Structure 1
Amino acid sequence: MGKDYYKILGISKDANDDDIKKAYKKMALKYHPDKNKAAGAEEKFKEIAEAYDVLSDKEKRKLYDMVGEEGLKNGAGTPGGPDGMPNGSGFSYVYTGDPRATFEQFFGASNPFEVLFGMGGLGGHDDMMDIDGSNGFPGGMFRQTQCGGNGFRTQSFTNGGTSGVNRRRPPEQDPPVEHDLYVTLEELLKGTTKRMKITRKVISPDGKSYRQEDKILSVNIKPGWKAGTKITFQREGDQKMNSIPADIVFIIRDKPHPLFKREGADIKYTAKISLREALCGTSIKVPTLLGTKVDLKLTDIVNPKTTRRLSGQGLPYPKEPNRRGDLIIGFDIKFPENLSESTKQLLWSNLL
């Protein structure tokens, strides 16, 4: 069934953008692992970030509403997907598992409490935070109540900056990291899954140092995908302080084939025949992508521009995987290097 992102954020399926933002603010602040030490809070925090990442994006939300989480992550919106889905992009959604980056991007800081109030952290049993105003945090009014040795101290702030709040610039995302992914025509005939190992830099649990991490990304390649199709894994690049990891993008490339050349959904094969066969006719065996051979009889004169077609022996059409292109046969006519005088005379006499 997959995850119910609406249920995770506690909203209905007809929620608007403001409802989604308000729900994320409320849930993210409640389950932030630096504040909420309960078992399962960190996993809940990650689910909330993933749900917001999908529902706050119109295209992702539209696709999710049609095919659910499993369809979204299995590339159902890629070429060959149901009508009404975005086609041709090669998009397959993968959440990076970096909810802190989503949190920081939303609030403009990894710790909005510290930025606004100069607090040392999100936790502590002596701190209480009330969020007032329909627009929530940031954008509404906030009241910080602290219990100290001299009693209660209350400060109110608005998002207008009149209280001297030190505003930070929201983090920027690093440019996409692109990799060419070469695929054979046989793999494009039926579709395949490529397991790509990446090594990236991640922030250590102490939040101050870095470590290397290996990760396997599964690239689901659909039948007939065109060269240039992009598959994006969001925010799987190196993690850096105060920046959003880059997207990892794999770009489909055609791997050169010893027999065939791709032309859209069609493939082209060049048969070598002699001049005598071109003029007098012959029968040839044409290889196919399935490894079989098809008999092709040539009865008419074949010239260098002659082509023949074997219908349905090409690659699947990306948007119609049950329909295939053609196998186009061209000809490389081998001319003799020399002719005897008697052969020349014979040809002249027959031509005349």
Structure 2
Amino acid sequence: MDYYNILKVSRSATDIDIKKSYRKLAMIWHPDKNPDNRAEAESKFKLISEAYDVLTDPEKRRIYDNHGEAVLKSGVVPPTPRKHPHFPYESSSASSSSSRQNRHTSYHYNPRNPHDIYTEIFGDEGRETDGSRRTSTGVPFGGHPMKKAPPVERPLLCSLEDLYRGVDKKLKITRTVTDHDGRSRPEEEIVTINIKPGWKKGTKLTFTEKGDQEPGIIPADITFVIEEKPHARYIRNGNDLIINQKMTLVDALTNKILEIPTLDGRRLMVQLSGIITPGYVHVVPNEGMPLSKEPGRKGNLKIKIVDIKYPSSLTPQQRSDLRGVLS
């Protein structure tokens, strides 16, 4: 395993170089920053941490440079060769005793916890607010779940036509994210919401962890809540549509045929029969809102007569004619 390559540094890198590179890579590959690809992030985060641990510890780095990873982890270190320009971290004690060069020495490889390293480098960014350290699964070593920011709800205004026919809406989410160097910056993302026919006011659509990124906190979920725009003609009541209608007295008495414009652009011809009085409700089955969970079915259309317009005046002859007809 090439620890230098893992951290993207040269073999002559200083501790400052190594720390700087670790910060950038840890910000990219920390498991909590990769919820959709956690397994790969977990593996890479551990490798980055292991490389940092070895290359910033003088003894570990010396053994690794001289003998490689296998010897470093084996616990048995062979005699150190004389100093070579390619191994700047070789101890000068290697040639102090011929007897020491003729025998193996014991060494206990004790790797550090990746999240202890992360906490050491990033300070409070690697801790919960109660000070407990996180594990790679987002659960602190104390056993409490990692805290998540409260969900954020945003209204999504939809016309009744949108909710009747269904539509795709593209929305922009703006949030604060953390760069690889630890700086915050705004980020915009376009998301698509597929509005299904028949969805009601209060329907919620959640985009997981699309909220602002904050150190030590799981980003909030962004939830869009359907709200209905007022309609010029229709009122929605559950799955039913209600339309208020005015009529003349003649129409109320003569079986008027009403022409009703529908939400999908049709012209619905509805004939009223009998004598119509104010408050009368005519029901047209299966012409209301679609049932989102029962494709092909709809609620009812209810035509409510709210007013009957009487003539403002009648001629003597009209009065006589009406009296003859209605008596």
TM-score of the aligned structures, taking structure 1 as reference length = 0.54
Q: Secondary structure at the match of 1:323?
A: coil
Percentage of identical aligned residues? 31
C-alpha displacement of 1:187: 1.8
- Indicate conservation of the 8 Å contact 2:53/2:111, yes or no: no
Q: Structure 2: which 5+ runs fail to align?
A: 1-20, 56-72, 78-88, 92-104, 113-130, 134-139
Q: Secondary structure at the match of 1:126?
A: helix
- Indicate conservation of the 8 Å contact 2:146/2:218, yes or no: yes
The correspondence of residues 304-315 of structure 1 with structure 2, limited to 5 A, is 304-315=278-289
In 1, distance between residues paired with 2:204 and 2:220? 15
Q: Secondary structure at the match of 1:322?
A: coil
Instruction: Give the one of 251, 262, 269 matched to 2:236.
Output: 262
In 2, distance between residues paired with 1:335 and 1:327? 23
- Report whether the alignment pairs 1:298 with 2:272: yes
Tell me the equivalent position of 1:219: 193
- Indicate conservation of the 8 Å contact 1:186/1:290, yes or no: yes
Instruction: Give the one of 223, 232, 247 matched to 2:221.
Output: 247
* Closer/same/farther in 2, CA of residues 48 and 167 from structure 1, 3 Å limit: closer
Tell me the equivalent position of 2:132: 167
In 1, distance between residues paired with 2:170 and 2:277? 46
Tell me the equivalent position of 1:123: 51
- Indicate conservation of the 8 Å contact 1:275/1:333, yes or no: no
C-alpha displacement of 1:245: 1.0
C-alpha displacement of 1:152: 2.9
C-alpha displacement of 1:304: 2.0
- Report whether the alignment pairs 1:152 with 2:138: no
Tell me the equivalent position of 1:336: 310
In 1, distance between residues paired with 2:217 and 2:74? 31
* Greater share of helix: 2
- Indicate conservation of the 8 Å contact 1:177/1:247, yes or no: yes
Q: Structure 1: which 5+ runs fail to align?
A: 1-32, 54-98, 104-110, 114-119, 128-143, 158-165
C-alpha displacement of 1:284: 1.7
Letter in 1 for 2:246: K
In 1, distance between residues paired with 2:111 and 2:184? 38
C-alpha displacement of 1:300: 0.8
- Indicate conservation of the 8 Å contact 2:204/2:223, yes or no: yes
Tell me the equivalent position of 1:206: 181
In 2, distance between residues paired with 1:252 and 1:196? 13
C-alpha displacement of 1:237: 0.6
* Closer/same/farther in 2, CA of residues 187 and 296 from structure 1, 3 Å limit: same
Paired residue total: 232
Instruction: Give the one of 170, 180, 189 matched to 1:195.
Output: 170
The correspondence of residues 47-58 of structure 1 with structure 2, limited to 5 A, is 49-50=35-36
Q: Secondary structure at the match of 2:215?
A: coil
C-alpha displacement of 1:266: 1.5
* Closer/same/farther in 2, CA of residues 223 and 34 from structure 1, 3 Å limit: farther
- Report whether the alignment pairs 1:180 with 2:155: yes
* Closer/same/farther in 2, CA of residues 276 and 179 from structure 1, 3 Å limit: same
Q: Secondary structure at the match of 2:278?
A: coil
Letter in 2 for 1:204: D
- Report whether the alignment pairs 1:281 with 2:240: no
Residues 177-228 of structure 1 show CA distances to partners (whole Å, capped at 9, x for unaligned) of 1111111222222322111002110011112x20011111111211211110
Tell me the equivalent position of 2:137: none
In 1, distance between residues paired with 2:242 and 2:36? 45
* Greater share of strand: 1
Indicate the larger mover: 232-241 or 308-317: 308-317
* Closer/same/farther in 2, CA of residues 167 and 199 from structure 1, 3 Å limit: closer
Tell me the equivalent position of 1:271: 245
- Indicate conservation of the 8 Å contact 2:32/2:218, yes or no: no
Residues 131-160 of structure 1 show CA distances to partners (whole Å, capped at 9, x for unaligned) of xxxxxxxxxxxxx99999796346699xxx
C-alpha displacement of 1:42: 5.4
TM-score of the aligned structures, taking structure 2 as reference length = 0.58
Residues 64-109 of structure 1 show CA distances to partners (whole Å, capped at 9, x for unaligned) of xxxxxxxxxxxxxxxxxxxxxxxxxxxxxxxxxxx98xx7xxxxxx
